[in-house]
Structure 1
Amino acid sequence: MRSRGFSLIELMVTITVLALILMGAMPSIGTWLGNLKVRNSASSISDGLQQARAEAIRRNEAISFWLVSLPDQTTLSNDCALSSTAGSWVVSMNSPVGACAAAASTTVAPRLVAAHPVGDGGADVTVAAFQANGTTAANQVTFDGFGRVINTGPIALVNVSKNATVKSLRIVVNTAGSVRMCDPTVVSTTDPRRC
């Protein structure tokens, strides 16, 4: 009489087949995770820029978006510094240097509106912010009450990348204040993802 269930041989064959399938999928999973980190970071920066613009329009006064570096990328702290190569950001009326972890306030400096650490979702991602010429580093953009860019040397584009196997993204800010995320590798003039 045979008992129900799997034999040891059947179980070992099943585990071996599953291991082979997983080994074949690992490179794809690594690329997918890299693309996800780039997308998360680019979306976060784009959302912060749009929030700064919307807040400037809502309050009818100048509001700035600042890229900041943090000692611990997962936590906002007051040990922050302005940076053109960081994925963390702060939306405020005044420079947030030394006050990135301050509570949101309309009266207490830096008059913080919102802040976001790059965190685990954007770890190992390269961020590079530039002025309109594409070579001069920038770390801030200020929007006026109409949502237009008003400061000198503002962020005009932000490149977000990881490595050669992962898709890069770019955030473009024009002088009218519109914020757009695009793919710098797309060359077709009819593709809406084109920069």
Structure 2
Amino acid sequence: MSSSGFTLIELMVTIAVLAIIVSIAAPSISTQLANQRVKSTTATLANALKEAKAESVIRRQNVTLSYDNSSSPKKIVITASDTNSSVIASYNYNAQSNIKPIATTNITFAPSKRIISIDDITYTICDSNASATSRQIEVDRVANITSRMGGKCS
């Protein structure tokens, strides 16, 4: 008499092979998710910087962008330099991402399409997962905003 189906040993071997494949793929997926978080935070910061630059020209006054890595949720805030320091826009970014400045957490755009700073400002975006690739956003004196891979997170 022949029976159709799988034996217990065949099922155990199949499950063992699947477990090995999953254990190999899991770190790669984790790193990809971390890289995506960094990419998303970089895009959010770059868009906020561009909006602050445009708002300073439109409003004909200084506009300041600041961020807070310690708040919950983490925020990027654009404020006008009027008497009320009114908030123009606010953006949340991923809790596992950090924005690290070389100099300051604030950047002020002047209506003359320049930043009020002695030097260029570089922001490094990092993730809590150390295997993620960091990214940098640089704002030069004439308020050109560029993004690139790299930077140190330690």
Query: What TM bracket, shorter-length normalisation?
Result: 0.7 to 0.9
Which amino acid counterpart does residue 139 of structure 1 have in structure 2? T
The structure whose residues are more often helix, as a share, is 2
Distance 1:20 1:59, change over 3 A: same
Per the normalisation by structure 1, the TM-score is 0.63
For 2:78, the aligned partner's letter is V
Cα distance, 1:63 vs structure 2: 1.4
Equivalenced residues, count? 149
Mapped pair 1:67 → 2:67: yes
What are the Cα deviations for residues 135-166 of structure 1, in whole angstroms up to 9, with x where unaligned?
xx3121111224221x2457711012236532
Q: Which of residues 98, 105, 111 in structure 2 aligns to 1:126?
A: 98
Contact 1:57 1:146 in 2 (8 A): yes
* Deviations 1:31-83, CA, capped at 9 Å, x for gaps: 21221222222222111111111222233332111122454236xxxxxxxxx
> By percentage of residues, which structure has more strand?
2
Paired residues of 1:139 and 1:155 also in contact (CA < 8 A):
no
Paired residue type of 1:54: A
Q: Which amino acid aligns with 1:158?
A: Y
| In structure 2, distance between residues paired with 1:166 and 1:55 | 33
Segments of structure 1 that go 5 or more residues without pairing to the other structure are 75-87, 95-106, 131-136, 186-195
Give how far 1:8 is off. 5.8
Q: Percent identity between the aligned chains?
A: 24
User: Which of the numbers 130, 134, 146 marks the counterpart of 1:168?
Assistant: 134
Counterpart among 157, 178, 195 of residue 144 in structure 2? 178
1:31: which partner in 2?
Answer: 31
Letter in 2 for 1:31: T
Alignment-mate amino acid for residue 138 of structure 1: T
- The change in CA–CA distance for 1:50 and 1:67 in structure 2 (over 3 A counts) is same
Does the 8 A contact of 1:156 with 1:172 survive in 2?
A: yes
The structural deviation recorded for 1:29 is: 1.4
> Against the structure 1 CA distance between its residues 117 and 45, is the aligned structure 2 distance closer, same or farther, given a 3 Å change threshold?
same
Unaligned stretches of 5+ in structure 2? none
| Equivalent-residue separation in structure 2 for 1:171 and 1:138 (angstroms) | 14
Larger radius of gyration: 2
